[in-house]
């Protein structure tokens, strides 16, 4: 029996395109193979169903021919891969143009789904199109910063145990003294083209060369240190400059800072997500800092000079005569460094006027005298 695409997406036959899309997104999230508990088979099925039901024409065709649709074609046994050839669908099957599909460590898989999942995962690293050779893995890290470090930037030592280029062969995987030769299996192309004959004609499909893993060349004699892969696991230490102005939850990307790729492939990226510890004195507002000070009624009425905590330490601030409760004063350029561009934000000080809960007899007399003069 062929598949019931409506059932797979959990919608009824009259579902609107919106309903189909919503349901697809939910299920795709749930079963995405990159996720814990994800299920590649299920995911593939959901995609297959979505490919058909989200397309007006294909959906109509499917509705007409019902559940026999994907078996009706002469491509039969080729499954969705054959389907792809005939209808121009993305290749999910093993016979698809990118080979391997879901089974080869996700290589073909990311390539296929880049566009589809751009919106689901919000773009960025997950949806990057893969090159033919397996790029090194990305590394994700977290760093906790103080409010001040986030405001001004800080240099952090990083210690990682990661895959790096082999320091004996320099990453090409060849034993010292021996060279690198063109891969015979793929004739240096890094991929192997196979012709697939179906009733509809012959389709070409390319897959990554098993012999050279897409590099197109192979070491004459494998390096003993790395076994010919060109990479080893090693502690690597470096310092990372975190720019001033970065905010809580923001991520910086260090291109090429991830794991080195095997067989001379490009390295992955390093992603560092910043968590900023709150500071009880300050509140962030864009690149401005906000704080509150308490002054007395006489200070507010007659004016005074006070010390205010800022990112630069204590700073003198003038309270002018007649300051009102809730009034905000600006300390120019005492705020957070602009993440992009130059200069700093401001420090905005809100003034609270405290009313004493207890006063002496003498104070009361004076206030009453003051009141009588107003
Ligand atoms: Zn080596
Ligand atoms: Zn090859």
pLDDT, tens digit (0-9, with 9 covering 90-100), for 54-111? 888 888 877 876 654 443 333 333 333 333 333 333 333 333 333 333 333 332 222 2
Which of the four pLDDT bands, split at 50, 70 and 90, describes residue 299? very high
Q: Please measure the distance between the N-terminal and C-terminal CA atoms of the chain and give it in whole angstroms.
A: 94
* Neighbouring C-beta atoms of residue 256, cutoff 10 Å: 12
Spell out where the chain has E strands: 139-145, 153-165, 180-182, 191-198, 201-208, 217-219, 231-243, 251-254, 270-276, 283-285, 288-296, 304-310, 313-319, 328-331, 347-354
Q: Are residues 209 and 191 in the same domain?
A: yes
Higher pLDDT, 122 or 297: 297
Q: Does 333 map to a domain?
A: yes
Q: Is the Cβ–Cβ distance between 54 and 28 less than 8 Å?
A: no
CA of 186 from ligand 2 middle (Å) equals 4
CA of 180 from ligand 1 middle (Å) equals: 12
| d(CA 108, ligand 1 centre) in Å | 27
CB 252 within 8 A of CB 339: no
Residue 238 forms part of a structural domain:
yes
State in Å: Cα 131 to ligand 2 middle.
15
Cα(232) to centroid of ligand 2, in Å?
A: 22
* Ligand having the closest approach to the CA of 215: 2
Please give the pLDDT value at position 55. 82
CB contact at 8 A, 169 and 249: no
Residues 142 and 244 in one domain: yes
Share of the chain above pLDDT 70, in %: 81
DSSP string, 193-236: EEEEEETTEEEEEEEE-TTTTTSSEEESSB-TTTTTSSEEEEEE
Identify the nearest ligand to the CA of 226 by its number. Answer: 1
| Tokens 């009880």 belong to residue | 280
Does one domain contain both 244 and 356?
Answer: no
Centroid of ligand 1 to alpha carbon of 268 (angstroms): 19
User: Residue 154: which CATH number?
Assistant: 2.60.260.20
Whole-number average pLDDT of the chain: 80
Residue 336 maps to a domain = yes
Place 43 in a pLDDT band, splitting at 50, 70 and 90: confident
Measured CA distances, 225 to 7, 180, 214 (Å) = 53, 16, 21
State whether 208 and 238 are in the same domain.
Answer: no
How remote is the CA of residue 165 from the centroid of ligand 1, in Å?
Answer: 8
At residue 119, does pLDDT exceed 60?
no
Q: What is the rounded radius of gyration, in angstroms, for the C-alpha atoms of the chain?
A: 32
- Whether 148 and 257 map to the same domain: the answer is yes
Asked if pLDDT for residue 116 goes beyond 80, the answer is no
Nearest Cα to Cα of residue 42 among 52, 30, 53 = 30
pLDDT digits (tens, 9 = 90+) for 303-347: 999 999 999 999 999 999 999 999 999 999 999 999 888 899 999
CA of 192 to the centre of ligand 2 (A): 8
- Please give the distance, rounded to the nearest whole angstrom, from the Cα atom of residue 179 to the centre of ligand 2: 16
Tally of domains in the chain: 3
pLDDT in the model for residue 202: 80
Residue 339 Cα to ligand 1 middle (Å): 41
Query: Does residue 245 fall inside a structural domain?
Result: yes
Q: Which ligand is nearest the CA of 219, by number?
A: 1
Residues 6+ positions from 209 with CB-CB distance below 8 Å: 183, 185, 186, 189, 190, 191, 192, 216
Q: pTM for the full model?
A: 0.57
**Ligand 2 midpoint to CA 182 (Å):** 8
Which ligand has the shortest distance to the CA of 206?
2
- In this predicted structure, the answer to whether residue 125 has a pLDDT above a threshold of 60 is no
Domain that residue 300 falls in: 283-373
Residue 225 alpha carbon to ligand 1 centre in Å:
5
Q: How far does the centroid of ligand 1 lie from the alpha carbon of residue 138, in Å?
A: 21
- Does residue 367 lie within any of the structural domains? yes
Placement of tokens 């000080």 in the chain: 349
| Beta bridge pairs of residue 293 | 351
Quick check: is 322 in a domain?
yes
Q: How far is the CA of 227 from the centre of ligand 1 (A)?
A: 7
Cα 236 to ligand 1 centre (Å): 17
Distance 15 CA to ligand 1 centre (A): 57
Ligand index nearest the alpha carbon of residue 221: 1
Q: Which residues surround ligand 1, an ion (CB under 5 A)?
A: 166, 168-169, 223, 225-226
Give distance in angstroms: CA of 76 to centre of ligand 1. Answer: 46
| 142 & 269 share domain | yes
Query: Is residue 209 domain-shared with residue 301, that is, in the same domain?
Result: no
- The reply to whether 24 falls in a domain is no
- Using the mean position of ligand 1's atoms as its centre, give its distance from the Cα of residue 178 in Å: 12
The two structure tokens encoding residue 114: 């880049």
Q: Is residue 84 part of a domain?
A: no
């Amino acid at each position: 029996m062929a598949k019931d695409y409506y059932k797979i997406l959990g919608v009824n036959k009259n579902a609107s395109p919106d309903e189909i899309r919503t349901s697809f997104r939910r299920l795709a999230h749930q079963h995405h193979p990159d996720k814990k508990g994800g299920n590649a088979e299920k995911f593939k099925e959901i995609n297959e169903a979505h490919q058909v039901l989200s397309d007006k024409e294909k959906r109509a065709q499917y509705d007409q021919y019902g559940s026999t649709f994907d078996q009706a074609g002469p491509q039969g046994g080729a499954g969705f891969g054959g389907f792809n050839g005939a209808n121009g669908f993305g290749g999910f099957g093993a016979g698809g143009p990118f080979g391997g599909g879901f089974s080869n460590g996700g290589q073909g898989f990311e390539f296929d789904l880049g566009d589809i999942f751009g919106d689901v995962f919000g773009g960025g690293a997950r949806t990057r199109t893969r090159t033919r050779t397996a790029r090194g893995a990305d590394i994700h890290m977290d760093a906790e910063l103080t409010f001040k470090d986030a405001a001004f930037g800080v240099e952090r030592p990083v210690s990682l145990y990661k895959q790096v280029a082999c320091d004996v062969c320099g990453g090409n995987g060849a034993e010292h003294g021996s060279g690198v030769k063109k891969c015979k299996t793929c004739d240096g192309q890094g991929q192997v083209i196979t012709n697939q004959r179906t009733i509809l004609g012959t389709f070409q499909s390319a897959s990554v060369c098993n012999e050279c893993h897409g590099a197109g060349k192979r070491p004459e004699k494998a390096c003993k240190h790395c076994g010919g892969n060109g990479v080893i696991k090693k502690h690597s230490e470096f310092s990372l400059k975190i720019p001033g102005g970065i905010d809580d939850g923001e991520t910086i990307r260090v291109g090429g800072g991830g794991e080195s790729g095997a067989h001379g492939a490009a390295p992955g990226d390093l992603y560092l997500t910043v968590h900023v510890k709150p500071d009880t004195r300050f509140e962030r507002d864009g690149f401005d800092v906000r704080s509150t000070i308490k002054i007395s009624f006489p200070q507010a009425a007659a004016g005074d000079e006070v010390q205010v905590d800022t990112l630069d330490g204590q700073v003198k601030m003038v309270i002018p005569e007649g300051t009102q409760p809730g009034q905000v004063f600006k300390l120019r350029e005492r705020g957070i460094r602009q993440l992009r561009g130059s200069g700093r934000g401001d420090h905005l000080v809100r003034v609270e006027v405290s009313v004493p809960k207890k006063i002496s007899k003498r104070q009361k007399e004076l206030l009453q005298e003051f009141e009588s003069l107003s």
